[in-house]
Amino acid sequence: MGIRLNYKVHSQFTVALKISDTQVRKYLRDPMVRQLKDVRSSLYLRFNAARTGGTWWLYQYKNGEQVPHRIGTYPATQAKDIMDLVSATTVQIAKSNVVNFRRFETVDQLIDWHVTRQFKLGKSSKERLANIKSMANRHLMGIFHGEPIMTIDAELIDEELIQPMFESGLSLSYVKAMFNLLKSAYTTAKRLKHIGVNPLADVHFRDFFPDNFSITKAQVRECRLSTDQVPDALKALDFTDNPTRLLVMMMLGHGSRIGETRKAKWCNVSITTKCWTIPSGDTKTRQTMVYPLSDPMIELLQSYRQWQSELGYKGEYLFPIDLRSGSCIYGALASQLVKSVSNAAWSGHDLRKRARSIWADIGIDYMVAETLLNHAKGKLDLAYIHTHIELQKKEAISRYHEWLKSCWRTCFRPVSIDQEIIKKAI
């Protein structure tokens, strides 16, 4: 009796079956199987060389020829979800539409798609779009570059994102925003059926902290700029550019929020009435805020506007993104300018906290201080404010600015028109 040779030992082959995730996992371990063919349709799953996944192909028979359509990858699209995709693709083919396959093989590809989609939708503010683009480009896409889309998990996020970001000094709120952007990308892709499984569905930001850790309390952290450090902070402004100097002085000088200050317009700065108005649409509380302007601050503002005019800027913003732009600087850039002064030791919010603390130290009334911070108020507070506090705000700001001058005598010095002009973006 002759020897029967198994010709399949050295050749890969196709297995026809009803494709399921169990069958896929089984045959992924068999190097002799090149692809799976679903018996219900002309659907194939072709394994990659590394045997870590594969590509879903749907064949269309047209004019006696096979026309392949690439409709997804595994494990991004699981077998349990593939038939829905087959049905949708078949409809598109029948309409003679081009099948648009979103190929998400790596995490950075998914994030890039998500950010691009947000810009196309245009439903978020310019500030929000700029922030998510910055987080994606500066952090997430680099951290997870080349990472297979389905291998991401809580352990990887903790090791590559959470711990390194905290070690580098980033705030809890910023790290949380990055995590939320990453999770949102996966959630959206799953909802739109670009991926069949969301590996982050059960991963939550709180999971990375002990049970007794309070995220809310952590966000209300101690001020990183002490009163004793204020003179050095003011001194550092002598060595920075004019826009950065004015941004910090207005925030420290009034206790204003960074998001409100960066949007300041010249039409809302009145030299005549000596006040700076922040419209309700630009404030966090959606209540119009009016800051009294001290004489030293007015002198600084007048010289700064003349400096802008010498540069050729005729726009409406105190802090334009460049000389030709019709936009103010975005939030992330404003934060960078502040951190360039502090060497990342403190932030814009720390300026606001320190101003509030100093007001208490120099005897400014509690309600006056709360009003200057533009905190949300009840009806009784509003009635009290209307009757009394508006008259006291000017005195409080003037006293506070004298205190700042005692820390660094030239902190309100006018901008020198002869200063070297830097025409690049702020």
Q: What is the pLDDT of residue 7?
A: 40
What's 399's domain CATH number? Answer: 1.10.443.10
Say yes or no: 235 and 358 in one domain: yes
pLDDT at 365 over 50: yes
Name the pLDDT band for 424 (thresholds 50, 70, 90).
Answer: very low
Name the pLDDT band for 295 (thresholds 50, 70, 90).
Answer: very high
| pTM listed for this prediction | 0.55
Q: What is the pLDDT of residue 340?
A: 95
What's 50's domain CATH number? Answer: 3.30.160.390
Buried b (16+ CB within 10 A) or exposed e, 22-59: ebbeebbeeeebbbbbbeeebbbbbbeeeeebbbbbbe
Position 385 in a domain: yes
pLDDT at 1 over 60: no
Residues 339, 353: contact at Cβ < 8 Å? no
Position 1 in a domain: no
- Distance in angstroms (rounded) separating the CA atoms of residues 305 and 293: 15
Q: Give tens-digit pLDDT for 226-240.
A: 999 999 999 999 999
Q: In the chain, how many domains are there?
A: 3
Domain range holding 386? Answer: 227-407
The DSSP call for residue 225 is S
Burial classification of residue 378, based on how many CB atoms lie within 10 Å of its CB (0-12 exposed, 13-18 middle, 19 or more buried): exposed
Tokens of 73: 């990858």
Say yes or no: 242 and 202 in one domain: no
Say yes or no: 322 and 344 in one domain: yes
Q: Classify residue 143 as left (phi > 0), alpha (psi -120 to 50) or beta.
A: alpha
Q: Give tens-digit pLDDT for 52-107.
A: 888 888 888 877 777 888 888 888 788 988 888 788 778 777 776 555 555 677 88
Say yes or no: 203 and 252 in one domain: no
Position 345 in a domain: yes
Q: Give tens-digit pLDDT for 127-142.
A: 789 889 989 988 898 8
